[in-house]
Chain A
Amino acid sequence: DVKVTQSSRYLVKRTGEKVFLECVQDMDHENMFWYRQDPGLGLRLIYFSYDVKMKEKGDIPEGYSVSREKKERFSLILESASTNQTSMYLCASSQSGARNTEAFFGQGTRLTVV
């Protein structure tokens, strides 16, 4: 059974803190993604990675960075958390290729910045 696991289901952090969200997949997928989801705005891509140590900015990268030191792990870092980063964060992975590129999601991390 395919699995994407996010380190926390709920997090509460203070403004200005550095926040780490971890994601691990066990499917040997090349691609990994971080999205945030807000009511009425849908899923917005923050960053993605197509290989170890490779990363590309998505639609809303400001205030975030990522790290992919191992194929199975993709971390999202909030350098200095702000209240407008309160959101649901979703990690996903997929394999490369023209077919079977469906993304599989982790359970999500609901982050509240106070």
Chain B
Amino acid sequence: QKEVEQNSGPLSVPEGAIASLNCTYSDRGSQSFFWYRQYSGKSPELIMSIYSNGDKEDGRFTAQLNKASQYVSLLIRDSQPSDSATYLCAVPASGGSYIPTFGRGTSLIVHP
């Protein structure tokens, strides 16, 4: 059973701070890693993908991957109240099926 673990939170940060979200996974063969944002009552929306060790930046978002330690993280700089949502980590299975396993998500609250 492939597992993806996230702290459920809520993670509460003040506006303008850096929010740090973490995810660990069990499938050592996984090659792709995704972060989704889900607002309450809405469906998940892809915000970042990362395939190689290291950092990948896109605007205020930075994804970090460490395959040796089997963790992936998402940093949100200059957090805004509109960033308040649940963030899901997704890891497609290795071995050909590529079925994504999702973590249960971390709830982020950015307060003014």
Contact = CB atoms under 8 A, between A and B. Distances in A.
Contacts of A98: 31-32, 98
Contacts, number: 57
- Interface range on chain B (Cβ under 8 Å from partner): 20 to 34
Contacts of B43: 90, 105-108
A48 B42 contact: no
A101 B100 contact: yes
Contacts of A35: 102
B44 A99 contact: no
Contacts of B100: 33, 92, 94, 101, 103
A111 to B, nearest CB: 14
A100 B105 CA distance: 21
A102 B46 contact: yes
A99 B44 CA distance: 20
A104 B102 contact: no
B104 A42 contact: yes
A41 B104 CA distance: 7
A31 interface: yes
Interface of A: 31, 33, 35, 40-43, 45, 48, 50, 58, 90, 92, 94, 96-108, 110
Q: Which 5 A-B pairs have the closest CB atoms?
A: A42-B104, A105-B43, A43-B102, A108-B43, A101-B98
Given A99-B31, A108-B43, 17 more contacts: A31-B98, A42-B102, A42-B105, A43-B88, A58-B99, A92-B100, A94-B100, A98-B32, A101-B92, A102-B34, A102-B49, A103-B46, A103-B100, A105-B43, A106-B43, A108-B42, A110-B41
9 contacts: A42-B104, A58-B99, A94-B92, A99-B32, A102-B32, A102-B46, A105-B43, A105-B44, A107-B43
